[in-house]
Every structure is written in C-alpha cells, then in structure tokens.
C-alpha cells in the first residue's frame, strides 16, 4: 500500500473554495521587461546539488504517483456517482458527487481536452500564491504547498509569505528552492520548442534569482535531465520580466525551478509573487491530457478545482475540462490509503450530467451587516477564510439564514451547490 504522508495534510486543507484574484493575460504584459534564455546542460546544476528523491515522476499518469495506487485486491468501496460541475468559470469549477458509505475521503482527478484550428498560445501554468498560508518560520528541509491553484508545488529552505514565497538572503543549507508541479508540455510531432515565462518578484538591486528546468527521460531513470537557464538580476527593487525560453523539451513531466544560493551574495530576501507560463501551439494541435488531482478528507460531496490555464474566447479554440472521482479509505495513524474505489463516471465541465441530482440553484448569498443566506431547501452553510480554512459551519434552514461573521474581511461561503465570495 502506498504511503502518502503529505497527502493526509493536503486533504485536510484542500477545501479552499475561492476565486483567482489577479489572473492576467500575457497579452497585457507591456510593462514587463523582455529577455531571452536558452537552456544550458551541465553548468551550474552541479553547484546547486538538490536532492529530488521525493519528486520522482510517474509516467503512468502525471502526479498520480503522489496520491496512492489502488491496492491489488478488489476495492471494497462503492464507485462514486459524479454529478454535474457547478460554479463554472474560465478559471474554476466545483466538482460534485454523491456520498459513498464508509468512505473517509475522495480524490478528484481532472483532465484537459484541447484543440485549436489557429496558431495561438495557451497558459500552461499560472500562480500568484494568493491562497498560500503565511508562515513565520523558514522550512529547513522540504515541503509541498497545498493552497495553490495547482497542487504539488515544492519548496525547500524558504517560507510562505503574504501572497508570496520568500527566499532568505543566506541559508545554512546554501540553497533555497521553489519548484513548479510536473507539467505536461508534450505536443505530438514536436520534441522541443519555446515558452514564455513571466515572473514578478521583489528584492534588492543587483540581487540574483536563478532559473532552471528538469525532466526524467524514462520511467526507470534514477536522475533527471537538468538544465540551468541562468540568473535574473534585479535592476530595481521590483522585477517584472517576460522571458523567452528557447529549446525547452516538449514532453511530460517537465519541472521549472527558481533558486537562490549563498554564492549569489544577495543583500536581502527575495520575494516571488507571480509565475506564469505560456506555450505556443500551432493550428491543428489537439491533445487530451491528465491535469491534476484534488484530495479531500471527510464527508464532503463537492470540491473546488482551479483551471487557471483554460483558453476561452478565442475563435477556433476548444478548451474543455472533465473529471472523475475516487472514494478512499484512510488509515490516518499509518498514513496510508487502505482502499480506493473504481473511478466514477466522467463529467464534462459545463455540460449537464446524465445523472440527476444537481439542479440550477436559486440560493442567494450576500452580506448586510451580517451574512445572509437564502436557501431553497435546508443545506449546510460553510464559511472559509481566504486561506481555505473552515471558520464555521451551520445547518441552514429553508428560507433566510442570518449568520454573524467572526471578523471583518473576505470569506468564501458555500451553501448547497452555491459558492460565493463575500466581504464584511
């Protein structure tokens, strides 16, 4: 049975329903300085000396190796029934399913189906760290970031700041590192190509931030193929740069990393606030790719999924997501998934499900002095802070429910199938 020590924590935190705050288009990045970088093999990589044994890429399916593989025996848990997605937008949807008796939690797997008849670009990754939980302590070893738009960011010898990641100017370990999730950049017929990477960061003038990428050549590879792209130099205290990356492998399981080293002799901490990656695609390109997963622990029947990469509004482009759900049993003491059901029926986001159960909702959520929730029928009302932490839960009655929020600020409220952001 597969160990999953970090997944248990992720399950407890992942009910972070919310909405992207600062998502922008590459086309609107005129205030970004533009530079070019080309990957260089076997340069400063050896000096970085990173241990990535915890992040070996599973070729069978991206990221699924980080969850848990179904045990060899027949699953005891019933297969969930997935229901239509709700709260669908260009960057977000809520996956829904029916409760499975005896399940300790669920795993939602999302997939992306893309096709274009025109030359264009699509956003392969976006993160502004809006939902990371701020911490006072620097990580001394390594850890995963759970409250990001895409699960499985990886952080070493750094800390989470206010909507940011902070690298110390020096560290006893010598290196601070932020890695993206494994990205599927594979396009049929193309082995390598260009990407556009934008970064917003803060630091002292003349400070340096290193950038690199790596991937595993085969399922049995012990070490990744790694390329160090070079350093960005701060010409001002705020760095806003659009990088043309050349000769990047178009394949599954590519990771980009951002690094500082004591050898840089930086004079202050470096704060990373935004990372965005665009990939050009030619007319006729089509693919069906695994996107990622969301684990959730408890008797929930819905889960938010961020699709920051979705390309919409471009004539000739079809960009759709679909998902399925697994039910799981969890041994919390051992940190194991002990049983995992078969995958549910697949749901195309934005289309009606053949399964009845999710109907259009006329529920209303608003704030007037207190929180007001008007329900068509009784439902649980859950209130989350902007870090995705549940701050209160009440059983709502049919009609109007008035609830006193704990303090001034922004909240995400989920009532039945309706999700809304409110401000007190």
Q: In terms of DSSP bridges, do strands 238-249 and 192-202 run parallel, antiparallel, or are they unpaired?
A: antiparallel
Cβ burial of 102 (10 Å; 0-12, 13-18, 19+) is exposed
The pTM of this model reads: 0.73
- How many Å apart are CA 150 and CA 142, to the nearest integer? 18
Output the pLDDT for position 135. Answer: 83
Tens of pLDDT along the chain (424 residues) come to 233 332 333 333 333 333 334 445 444 455 778 888 766 655 555 556 555 555 666 654 443 433 444 444 456 889 999 998 988 887 888 899 999 999 999 999 999 999 999 999 988 999 999 888 888 777 655 677 877 888 788 898 899 998 999 999 988 878 899 999 989 999 988 999 999 999 999 999 999 999 999 888 877 777 888 888 889 999 999 999 999 999 999 998 899 999 999 999 999 999 999 999 999 999 999 988 888 888 888 888 998 888 888 877 788 999 999 999 999 998 877 767 888 898 899 899 976 433 333 334 566 787 777 888 888 888 888 887 765 567 888 999 988 899 988 877 777 788 876 777 677 6
Output the pLDDT for position 91. Answer: 80
Q: How many CB atoms lie within 10 A of CB 241?
A: 19
- How many Å apart are CA 19 and CA 38, to the nearest integer? 34
Distances (CA, A) of 2 to 77, 107, 117, 293, 330: 17, 15, 42, 16, 11
Per-residue H/E/C for 139-201: CCCEEEECCCCCCCEEEECCEEECCEEEECCCCCCCEEEEECCCECCCECCECEEEEEEEEEE
Q: How far is CA 252 from the centre of its chain?
A: 17
User: 423 and 385 in contact (C-beta within 8 Å)?
Assistant: no
Output the pLDDT for position 406. Answer: 81
User: 153 and 180 in contact (C-beta within 8 Å)?
Assistant: yes
Give the residue among 72, 146, 76 at the shortest CA–CA distance from 104: 76
């Amino acid at each position: 049975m597969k160990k999953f020590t970090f997944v248990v924590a992720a399950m407890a935190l992942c009910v972070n329903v919310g909405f992207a705050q600062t998502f922008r288009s590459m086309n609107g990045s005129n205030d970004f300085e533009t530079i070019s970088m080309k990957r260089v093999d076997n340069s400063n990589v050896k000096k970085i000396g990173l241990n990535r044994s915890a992040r070996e890429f599973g070729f069978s399916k991206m990221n699924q190796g980080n969850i848990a593989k179904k045990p060899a025996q027949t699953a005891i848990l019933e297969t969930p029934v997935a229901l239509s997605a709700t709260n669908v937008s260009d960057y977000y949807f809520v996956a829904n399913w029916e409760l499975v008796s005896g399940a300790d939690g669920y795993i939602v797997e999302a997939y992306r189906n893309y096709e274009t008849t025109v030359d264009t670009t699509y956003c392969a990754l976006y993160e502004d760290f809006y939902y990371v939980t701020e911490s006072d302590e620097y990580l001394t070893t390594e850890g995963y970031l759970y409250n990001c738009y895409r699960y499985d960011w990886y952080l070493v010898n750094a800390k989470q700041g206010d909507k940011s990641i902070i690298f110390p100017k020096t560290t006893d370990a010598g290196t601070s590192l932020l890695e993206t999730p494994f990205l599927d950049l594979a396009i049929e017929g193309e082995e390598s190509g260009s990407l556009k990477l934008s970064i917003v960061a803060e630091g002292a003038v003349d400070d340096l931030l290193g950038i690199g990428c790596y991937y595993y050549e085969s399922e049995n590879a012990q070490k990744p193929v790694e390329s160090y792209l070079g350093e960005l130099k701060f010409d001002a205290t705020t760095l806003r740069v659009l990088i043309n990356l050349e000769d990047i492998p178009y394949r599954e399981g590519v990771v980009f990393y951002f690094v500082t080293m004591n050898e840089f002799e930086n004079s202050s901490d470096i704060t990373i606030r935004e990372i965005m990656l665009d990939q050009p695609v030619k007319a006729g390109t089509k693919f069906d790719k695994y996107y990622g997963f969301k684990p959730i622990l408890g008797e929930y029947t819905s889960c938010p999924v961020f699709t920051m990469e979705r390309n919409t509004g471009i004539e000739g482009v079809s960009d759709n997501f679909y998902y399925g759900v697994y039910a799981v049993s969890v041994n919390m003491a051992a940190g194991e998934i002990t049983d995992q059901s078969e995958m549910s029926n697949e749901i195309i986001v934005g289309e009606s499900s053949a399964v009845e159960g999710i109907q259009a909702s006329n529920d209303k959520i608003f704030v007037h002095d207190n929180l007001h929730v008007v329900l068509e029928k009784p439902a649980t009302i859950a209130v989350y802070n902007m870090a995705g932490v549940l701050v209160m839960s009440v059983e709502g009655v049919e009609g109007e429910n008035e609830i006193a929020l704990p303090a001034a600020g922004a909240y995400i409220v989920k009532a039945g199938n309706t999700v809304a952001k409110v401000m007190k």
